């Protein structure tokens, strides 16, 4: 594939910045870079533009540095809330990615940030508050607090029933000492009273019968 040398007039991510001399595919330069005025052919006449392009690049980079430095101070005070689907036990369905955080920054605070600047070692998979790193510029880093919340309320675990507690070895609650014994004595006394009354009734006819016989 034929290559050609060009001078970049704009910053092209992954390729270079203003005034950089780079080799690219001839078709890429002819069909994209030149029509969009992102580059010019490397010729003796065009080399005169390099100093002007370097000045333009320095101004752009200084502006980006100042802007990202201010942003770094601001985002440290923010809490970005990301709502996700989760089960009743609080376990998330899926995970939170840098793209989701970038979307919420735009939605909640009107901050446009490339998701590549949001540094996540691993996607976030748990609810709660997390602190993540932002690589805003080659010389500027910051942190952002992200609070992951469930879209639906989390229900607290139900308390185990008394029977279940007993099965686990816990003794059921008993009555106070002495109450059981007194109750038993009362029941016994109540049972004896009818028996005594019954015996007394049976003895009366027998006594009357004996007295009548002695009179005769």
pLDDT above 70: residue 206:
no
Are 87 and 93 in contact by the 8 Å Cβ rule? The answer is yes
Mind listing the pLDDT tens digit for each residue in 106-145? 999 999 999 999 999 889 999 999 999 999 998 999 999 9
User: How far is Cα 97 from Cα 99, in angstroms, rounded to an integer?
Assistant: 5
Which residue ranges form the domains of the chain, and what is each CATH number? 3-71 (3.40.5.10), 76-150 (3.10.430.100)
Give the pLDDT of residue 41. 93
Greatest alpha-carbon pair distance for the chain in Å reads 167
Going by C-alpha positions, the residue among 43, 47, 65, 53 that lies closest to residue 18 is 53
Give the pLDDT of residue 106. 96
CA 57 to mean position of chain CA atoms: 42
Strands of the sheet containing 128-137, edge to edge, are 79-84, 140-150, 128-137, 118-119
* Band of residue 152 on the pLDDT scale cut at 50, 70, 90: confident
Tell me if the pTM is above 0.75: no
Mind listing the pLDDT tens digit for each residue in 186-201? 555 555 555 545 555 5
């Amino acid at each position: 594939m034929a290559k050609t040398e060009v001078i970049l007039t704009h910053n092209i991510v992954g390729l270079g910045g203003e005034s950089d001399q780079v080799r690219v595919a001839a078709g890429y330069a002819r069909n994209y870079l030149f029509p969009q005025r992102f580059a010019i052919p490397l010729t003796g006449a065009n080399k005169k533009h390099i100093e002007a392009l370097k000045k333009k690049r320095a101004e752009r980079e200084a502006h980006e540095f100042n802007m990202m430095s201010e942003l770094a101070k601001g985002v440290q005070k923010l809490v970005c809330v990301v709502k996700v689907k989760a089960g009743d036990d609080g376990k998330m369905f899926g995970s939170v990615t840098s793209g989701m955080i970038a979307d919420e920054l735009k939605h909640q605070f009107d901050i446009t940030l490339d998701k590549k600047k949001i540094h996540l070692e691993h996607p976030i998979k748990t609810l709660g508050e997390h602190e993540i790193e932002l690589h805003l510029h080659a010389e500027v880093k910051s942190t952002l607090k992200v609070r992951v919340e469930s879209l639906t309320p989390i229900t607290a675990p139900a308390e185990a029933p008394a029977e279940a507690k007993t099965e686990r070895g816990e003794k059921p609650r008993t009555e106070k000492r002495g109450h059981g014994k007194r109750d038993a004595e009362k029941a016994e006394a109540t049972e004896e009273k009818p028996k005594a009354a019954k015996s007394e009734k049976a003895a009366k006819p027998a006594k009357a019968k004996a007295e009548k016989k002695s009179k005769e």
